[in-house]
Amino acid sequence: MPVITEIEDLKRIYRRRVPKMFYDYCESGSWSEQTFRENSSDFDKLYLRQRVAVDMAGRSTKTQMIGQDVSMPVALAPVGLTGMQHYDGEIKAARAAGDFGVPYCLSTMSICSIEDVAENSDKPFWMQVYTLKDDDFMQRLFDRAKDAKCSAAVITVDLQLLGQRHKDLKNGLSAPPKLTPQSVANMMTKVQWGLGMLQTKRRFFGNIVGHAQGVEDASSLSSWTAEAFDQSLNWDRIREFRKMWDGPLIIKGIMDPRDALEACNVGADAIIVSNHGGRQLDGALSSIRALERIMDTVGDKIEVHLDSGVRSGQDVLKATAMGAKGVWIGRAYVYGLGAMGQEGVTKALEVMHKELDMSMALTGHTDIKNVDRDILMIPKDFSDNWK
């Protein structure tokens, strides 16, 4: 096993171990992938201010997200089909997050169901809910999350339409994978992945199959998606969803200060500045660029989080310094999961924690709660200057 010191190491192993169809599903953005690329590269445009001769002993990255204790301000973002990246992937990611003391958020489009993850992990997790037309299905999803003792719900508001990713169409993405000569030939080279999949019965959309009509696999998913997702979604409708869930609520997918203000009015506890990891509107600003303006607009009204493009503890530190109280990671933990299962997710979190802790120290801070914009050098044209 090679020495793993950075997220990129996990990505290299992940690429070797997981069938191309699922690697591509994760490692792509919509259309030209401009936003997908810039989500990460824009972090490099922010500089950190080095400080010296400051007492760096006794550091802590502990803080709270929506009032819940976390060992660092990082959460595992909802990722569909995680159980296809590694067998029982959602359960393994939830366990790794629980042991590390960070939140795990289960996707509506997971392979393992809400009940299954609850039964097989011992810390409360968060539940992500897509905005669907079917009120009964929505209410049942919230009720199931409540029965499973989920400690927050996340409503994703940026997927009324499914962004097009060329590779998924060309690969004929499905769960379980469609058997074509190419996909079989590719899967035969992924021995560990295949052996894992043979051990489990969890190969379908656990939250949907048996709960929504007509969804047996990802190919029927695309037609179901076109039907089920609510293209007429508006803020009144989001207020209705708010009434269906009486626990902490997070609104995910905010990129504009005007939408951030709307989200404050629906009674949410937090928003996530997110462009869905560059998988929806190609050509949108990176989320780290959108953050400053949104912080300045609603930072005193609601807790603000960020995701999209985060690949290191330095990125976590920069977003935190800009004001984000929580930073969510998607692909960075999926690389770990695909590479080494639960151990790989733990490794991804360890790598990020070490980078965050040391970078924080070198900016002259010992407590993540005290980090602010003072440690950042922000280029003049960096932030959204929408008027």
Ligand X SMILES: Cc1cc2nc3c(=O)[nH]c(=O)nc-3n(C[C@H](O)[C@H](O)[C@H](O)COP(=O)(O)O)c2cc1C
75 sits near ligand X (criterion: CB under 6 A):
no
| Single-letter amino acid code for the residue at 138 | M
Cβ(253)–Cβ(140) below 8 Å: no
Distance between CA atoms of 89 and 337, rounded to whole angstroms?
A: 7
Residue 309 known to bind ligand: yes
Of the candidates 274, 286, 314, 320, which one interacts with ligand X according to CB under 6 A?
274
Residue 78 known to bind ligand: yes
Closest C-alpha among 56, 61, 48 to residue 374: 48
Cβ(276)–Cβ(163) below 8 Å: yes
131 sits near ligand X (criterion: CB under 6 A):
no
Burial of 3 (C-beta count, 10 Å sphere; 0-12/13-18/19+): exposed
Distance between CA atoms of 30 and 36, rounded to whole angstroms?
A: 8
Applying CB under 6 A, what is the total number of residues that bind ligand X? 24
11 sits near ligand X (criterion: CB under 6 A):
no
Window of 167-175, 203-211, 217-225, 304-312 that interacts with ligand X by CB under 6 A:
304-312
Helix axes 181-188, 191-199, angle to 10 degrees: 100
User: Cis omega (within 30 of 0) on the bond before 176?
Assistant: yes
For residue 381, the minimal CB distance to ligand X (Å) is: 23
Interface pattern 135-164 for ligand X (x via CB under 6 A):
---------------------x--------
Which is nearer to ligand X, 333 or 363 (by Cβ)? 333
Which is nearer to ligand X, 332 or 352 (by Cβ)? 332
Window of 161-169, 187-195, 204-212, 275-283 that interacts with ligand X by CB under 6 A:
275-283
Q: Give 201's contacts (C-beta < 8 A, 6+ positions apart).
A: none
Distance between CA atoms of 259 and 251, rounded to whole angstroms?
A: 10
Q: Which residue among the candidates 86, 166, 211, 276 is catalytic per the annotation?
A: 276
Distance between CA atoms of 232 and 248, rounded to whole angstroms?
A: 25
| Paired residues of 60 in beta bridges | 367
Residue 222 known to bind ligand: no
> Is 353 known to be catalytic?
no
Window of 42-50, 51-59, 239-247, 328-336 that interacts with ligand X by CB under 6 A:
328-336
Q: Which residues are annotated as a binding site for FMN?
A: 78-80, 107, 128, 130, 156, 252, 274, 307-311, 330-331
Judged by the rule CB under 6 A, the positions of this chain that interact with ligand X are: 25-26, 39, 77-80, 107, 109, 128, 156, 252, 274, 276-277, 279, 307-310, 329-332
